[in-house]
Structure 1
Amino acid sequence: MADFGGADLETFRAEARQWLEENFPKSLRGADDMTPGEGPVSETEDRKRWKQAMAEKGWGTPTWPKQYGGGELSGPQAVVLADEMNRIGAYNPMAGMGVAMIGPTLLEYGTEDQKARHLPPISRGEIRWCQGYSEPGAGSDLASLQTRCEDAGDHWVINGQKIWTSGAQYADWCFCLVRTDTTKKHEGISFVLINMHQPGVEVRPIKLIAGHSPFCETFFTNARAEKNDMVGPLNGGWTVGKRLLQFERSGSSRPRGEAGPTPAELAKQYIGVDEKGRIADVDLRSRIAANDIDRHAFVLTQYRAIAEAKGNQSPSAATSIMKNANTVITQQRQELTIELMGYQGLGWEGDAFSELERSTVRSWLSGKATTIFAGSYEVQNNIISKRILGLPDTTQSN
Structure 2
Amino acid sequence: MTPYMYDVVVIGGGNAGLSAAARCRKKGIDSVAVIEPQSVHTYRPLLSYVGGGQARLPSAQRGQAQVTPRGVTWLQDSAVSVDAASNTVTCASGMTVTYRDLIVGPGLVPDHDALPGIDAALATESVASNYLDEATRTWYLTRTVRDGGHAVFTVPRPPVSCTGTTVKPLFLAAAHWASIGRSVRTTLVVDREGIVGVPDLDVRLESALRELGVTVLRRTAVTALHPDRKAIQVTGPGGAETLDYDMLHLVPPYRGRAWVTESGLAGDAPHGLVDIDARTLQHRRYANIWAAGDGAAIDTDPSGGGLRKQVATLVDNLLAARRGDELGEYDGYTVAPIPVDAHRLIAAEFDRTGTITSSIPSFLDPLKPRRLAWAGDRYGLPFSYWHLLLKGHL
Could you say which TM-score interval applies, normalised by the shorter chain? under 0.3
TM-score w.r.t. structure 1 length?
A: 0.27
- Bigger relative contact order, structure 1 or 2, given CA contacts below 8 A and separation 6+? 2
The TM-score with structure 2 as length reference comes to 0.27
Task: Pick the structure with greater CA Rg.
Answer: 1
